[in-house]
Structure 1
Amino acid sequence: MYCKDANRRQNHDVTEFTFLGFTFRPRTARTGNGGLFVSFHGWMRYYGAFNRTALHPLLERINSYLLRWIRKKYRRLRTVKKALRAYQSAVRAYPVMFRHWRWTPHAWRTG
């Protein structure tokens, strides 16, 4: 049995097996460039077709989670003001890094 994943890319005859009715095989959930929110983008397009502005609070909440991650990851950006400034510069420099930034680049201010 060869357990194939992103780090092990060799080809072998047997790369999947069934155990107690569950089939174990390599996953293909990521895009070619390593993107994570493929299904999220489809979800945005589907619900955004009906009422895009209703999604803004949710998308801004996701941005606030990114802001909180910045504050926890980088010690020098622990204050809200510094983290918000870094977040806004990232949005300006890479406006297509996250698909939802096209609709709303703003974040809720969390204390």
Structure 2
Amino acid sequence: MADRIGVYAGRNGADDVVIHCKSHAQAMMLRGRLRKRLAECKLEMSPGKTKVVYCKDRERTEAYPEISFDFVGYTFRPRKSFSKEGELSVNFLPAMSGRAAKAIRQTVRGWDLSHRTPLSLEVMARWLNPMLRCRVKYYGRFYRSAMNCIATHVDLHLAKWVARKYKRVHGSLAQAYEWLRRIQRAGPGLFAHWEICTRREWSTTRAG
């Protein structure tokens, strides 16, 4: 069991805590004691955030209404993964949360890459990489494939930049993607997100 406790500290904000327990009974007992102790300190748990979660995996297979929770930008839930022996199984693992991914996509849109045509490709990479690398480093630590959607989104905006900047692609997004593919094959380390997201398929879907 994992009991996620949201502790509100007056006007100063809130702190999130994850506590692992051996049983449902232990989790409920601990939650009651924490609520009592916090009340003594004139604090309270967040009713909307405090919940008991069953860490479902290949060994814990019981039915339970709550089998996932979000914490520090990650969603923890049952996920398929390969063991060291190469066997596919289900484990309770973290990956970048949907809320974090949405925030990153909004940030990328805010960079307005398609209108930065005065920049060269190399300058664009030097400008973007520090911002990309910090997100890759943080969210790529666990279940790295969850970041593929972000890499695809960044490439979409890069393709729009290519289509606007280079006459050789005739304003075509498809040709801009093909141009980026050739650049990536020749220099996969040019952009930080290319270094870790190598198995995804390219998309020509337009971003909002």
- In 1, the alpha carbon distance for the partners of 2:134 and 2:180 equals 25
- In 1, the alpha carbon distance for the partners of 2:162 and 2:134 equals 26
Out of 168, 185, 193, the position equivalent to 1:100 is 193
| Within-5 A mapping of 1:18-33 | none
Cα displacement (A) at 1:110? 3.1
1:50 aligns to what SS in structure 2? coil
Provide the residue aligned with 1:52 in structure 2.
144
| Within-5 A mapping of 1:22-101 | 35-36=126-127, 37-77=129-169, 78-101=171-194
Provide the residue aligned with 2:3 in structure 1.
none
Task: Please say if 1:110 is aligned against 2:205.
Answer: yes
Residue identity in the other structure for 2:204:
R
- Asked if structure 2 preserves the Cα contact closer than 8 Å seen for 1:67 and 1:107, the reply is no
- Asked if structure 2 preserves the Cα contact closer than 8 Å seen for 1:80 and 1:110, the reply is no
Residue identity in the other structure for 1:52:
R
Cα RMSD of the aligned pairs, angstroms, is 2.3
**Matched-pair identity in %:** 24
Structure 1, gaps ≥5 residues long? 1-33
- In 2, the alpha carbon distance for the partners of 1:82 and 1:43 equals 28
Structure 2, gaps ≥5 residues long? 1-122
Answer 1 or 2: higher relative contact order, Cα 8 Å, separation at least 6. Answer: 1
Cα displacement (A) at 1:39? 4.1
Cα displacement (A) at 1:107? 3.7
Query: Could you give the per-residue CA deviations for residues 15-45 of structure 1, whole angstroms, max 9, x where no partner exists?
Result: xxxxxxxxxxxxxxxxxxx733224312211
| Within-5 A mapping of 1:2-21 | none
- Asked if structure 2 preserves the Cα contact closer than 8 Å seen for 1:48 and 1:55, the reply is yes
Residue identity in the other structure for 1:75:
K
> What is the TM-score of this pair, normalised by structure 1?
0.59
> What is the TM-score of this pair, normalised by structure 2?
0.34
User: Structure 1 residues 54, 83: CA separation in 2 closer, same or farther (over 3 Å shift)?
Assistant: same
The structure where strand makes up a greater share of residues is 2
Cα displacement (A) at 1:102? 1.4
